[in-house]
Amino acid sequence: MAAFTVAELESMIVVNMGDYKTARGEKKLITKDLGSCVGVAVRDPHTGVGGLLHVMLPHHSEATESSIPFVAAKYADTGLDEMIRALVVQGAEREHLVAKIAGAAHMIKNATIPESRDISARNLEAVTEKLAELQIPLLAADVGDHFPRTVVFEPGNGTFRILTPGKVEKRI
């Protein structure tokens, strides 16, 4: 995996699992260890305002544990809605938004659940459906396979870096 300079690390904002962060300009957003989760980068190329969402689960309506406080960013459907509202408040124009995604790896083999229906596939489906519903074009994706990813998103220029142990860094 690529090494980061001290200056680069200082400019990064960490996005934890089931959360999102927004930034503009030279700031960078990083989320680590995307396994079955999906990292969704959304930006307005005209303003340089963007956000990175670390989706854990497909739909809030499927949540069964009512004693756990609701966190919109954990879910593809509610997380994207919340992050987009925040981007618009920060100056992004809704009609200019574009997206890139990474993750949705099949991390655990299960003989009773085919890969086409495991949590990673369901997360990916929920993210792509929500982006389509919101009419946000999906410009690029690095999804699937059987390995985790760390991603670094640069809202100012749209670079989406995918870092995987033992693999060459990819930029989409």
Give me the DSSP letters along 13-59. Answer: EE--TT-EEEEETT-EEEEEEESSSEEEEEEETTTTEEEEEEE-BS-
Domain assignment present for residue 97? The answer is yes
Record the pTM: 0.92
H or E segment to which residue 11 belongs:
helix 6-11
Domain assignment present for residue 14? The answer is yes
Domain assignment present for residue 149? The answer is yes
Domain assignment present for residue 170? The answer is no
Eight-state DSSP code of residue 169: -
Q: Is the pLDDT of residue 113 over 60?
A: yes
What CATH code is carried by the domain that includes residue 60? 3.30.1330.200
Rg of the chain's alpha carbons, rounded to an integer? 15
User: Nearest to residue 136, comparing CAs of 171, 93, 172, 104?
Assistant: 93
pLDDT in tens, 34-64: 999 999 999 999 999 999 999 999 988 766 6
Domain assignment present for residue 129? The answer is yes
Count of domains in the chain?
A: 1
Eight-state DSSP code of residue 111: T
CA 26 from chain centre, in angstroms, equals 19
Domain assignment present for residue 1? The answer is no
Instruction: Give the domain range for residue 50.
Output: 6-163
